[in-house]
């Protein structure tokens, strides 16, 4: 396997200007605030967080749909911010996206065949009719789409079928990295499992790397090998999936995991749900010191003034908390991984 990351993000920041009232002064919203991580070839990496934490903006920055305020995004060693025009377009063939909403992400006027083959037209690929038909048939088979669907329009399908079409479109250009922005959140639970299994099979067959964006730990645990937890524009913890579920090292991660349901009642009744006090602070005016301290049950005086950065809690496990380790949490957290 290639030792170089397929995706590397360094000190990435994105700030938006917002007005305070009709005649108020402009103020900055730090949507993404100094985020760094890497994704290896064929790896599944997830960013998890509540709504408004900045994870979708991060996805747009990775896709070069937004320009960063500062920082860099490298794809296969190439700085994407240095590319424009044809060079950027050529690189984008290798990065594709699966959208959250299978209803609004497909053009209602286009047939399934037109939707899936449009990337080939845009990038001037597969002009030979025989090769084109063979490629299309393979895509349909891989994504579980019947050939009889080719002449139909999106409104004729269920949400799960539409998402399969969206996945086929994303794979049409044979990408190396797929950004999946909440790809199953709009689907029924029974359909979610089918789509997640499909994504897992496609990754193994096509040797894909996934950058997964989600608010649901249950979803990313099924698919991802490494997870980063995001809060108010910052990554507060990152570790491999098993370690994060068994022994979280940030209070926010611990609280999120305590809300993940366990189907076994005998296990569920032994778990303690952690209820966070207060609301998520406004990104217009984040708290001084640790951004999480107003809601943290391990609060110390130093947390109000110290702004912690990611530090190694153990090998390859980083957490942004100055009161590590939390020795009294292991028994409750470990129940989540059973």
Return the DSSP state at 53. S
Q: Which two tokens stand for residue 114?
A: 């037109």
Average pLDDT, the chain: 89
Q: Return the domain boundaries, the chain.
A: 7-224, 251-338
Mention every residue, 6+ apart, whose C-beta is less than 8 A from residue 172. 116, 117, 119, 120, 139
* Main-chain phi, psi angles of 286, to 5 degrees: -65, 155
pLDDT per residue as tens digits for the range 32-66:
999 999 999 999 999 999 888 999 999 999 999 99
Asked if residue 103 lies in contact with residue 159, where contact means CB atoms within 8 angstroms, the answer is yes
Exposed e or buried b per residue across 10-23, where buried means at least 16 C-beta atoms within 10 angstroms of its C-beta: eebbbbeeeeeeee
pLDDT per residue as tens digits for the range 167-218:
999 999 999 999 999 999 989 888 999 999 999 999 999 999 999 999 999 8
What CATH class does 7-224 carry? alpha beta
Q: Where are the beta strands (DSSP E) in the chain?
A: 7-19, 26-39, 44-48, 70-75, 78-79, 95-98, 177-181, 209-214, 226-231, 234-240, 311-314, 317-319
64: left (phi over 0), alpha (psi -120 to 50) or beta: left
Q: Which two tokens stand for residue 125?
A: 């690929």
Predicted structure pTM score: 0.90
pLDDT value, residue 336: 45
CA dist 211 and 167 (Å) reads 14
pLDDT per residue as tens digits for the range 297-321:
888 999 999 999 999 888 889 999 9
CA distances from 208 to 39, 99, 144, 317, 321 (A): 11, 17, 18, 24, 33
Which single residue is written with the structure tokens 């984008």?
92
Tell me: pLDDT of 328 over 70: no
pLDDT per residue as tens digits for the range 249-262:
999 999 999 888 77
pLDDT band at 120 (very low <50, low <70, confident <90, very high): very high
Tell me: pLDDT of 166 over 60: yes
């Amino acid at each position: 396997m290639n030792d170089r990351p397929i995706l590397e993000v360094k000190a990435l920041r994105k700030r938006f200007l917002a007005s305070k009232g009709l005649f108020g002064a402009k103020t900055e919203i730090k949507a993404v605030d100094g985020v760094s991580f890497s994704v290896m070839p064929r790896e599944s990496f997830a960013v998890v967080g509540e709504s408004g934490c900045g994870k979708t903006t991060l996805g747009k920055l990775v896709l070069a749909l937004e320009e960063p305020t500062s920082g860099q995004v490298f794809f296969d060693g190439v700085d994407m911010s240095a590319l424009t025009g044809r060079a950027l377009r050529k690189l984008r063939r290798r990065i594709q996206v699966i959208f959250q909403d299978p209803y609004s992400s497909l053009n209602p006027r286009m047939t399934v065949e037109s939707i899936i083959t449009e990337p080939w037209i845009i990038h001037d690929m597969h002009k030979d009719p025989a090769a084109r038909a063979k490629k299309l048939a393979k895509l349909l088979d891989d994504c579980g789409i019947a050939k009889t669907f080719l002449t139909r329009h999106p409104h004729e399908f269920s949400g799960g079928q539409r998402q399969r079409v969206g996945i086929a479109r994303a794979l049409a250009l044979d990408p190396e990295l797929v950004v999946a922005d909440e790809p199953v959140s709009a689907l029924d639970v029974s359909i979610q499992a089918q789509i997640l299994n499909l994504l897992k099979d496609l990754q193994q067959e096509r040797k894909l790397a996934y950058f997964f964006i989600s608010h649901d730990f249950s979803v990313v645990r099924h698919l991802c090998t490494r997870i980063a937890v995001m809060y108010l524009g910052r990554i507060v913890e990152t570790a491999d999936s098993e370690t994060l579920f068994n022994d979280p090292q940030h209070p926010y991660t611990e609280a999120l995991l305590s809300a993940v349901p366990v189907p076994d009642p005998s296990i569920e009744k032994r778990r303690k749900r952690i209820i966070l006090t207060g609301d998520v602070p406004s990104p217009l005016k984040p708290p001084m010191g640790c951004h999480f301290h107003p809601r943290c049950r391990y609060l110390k005086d130093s947390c109000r003034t110290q702004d912690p950065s990611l530090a190694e809690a153990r090998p390859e496990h980083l957490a942004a908390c100055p009161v590590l380790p939390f020795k009294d949490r292991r028994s409750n957290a470990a129940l989540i991984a059973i």
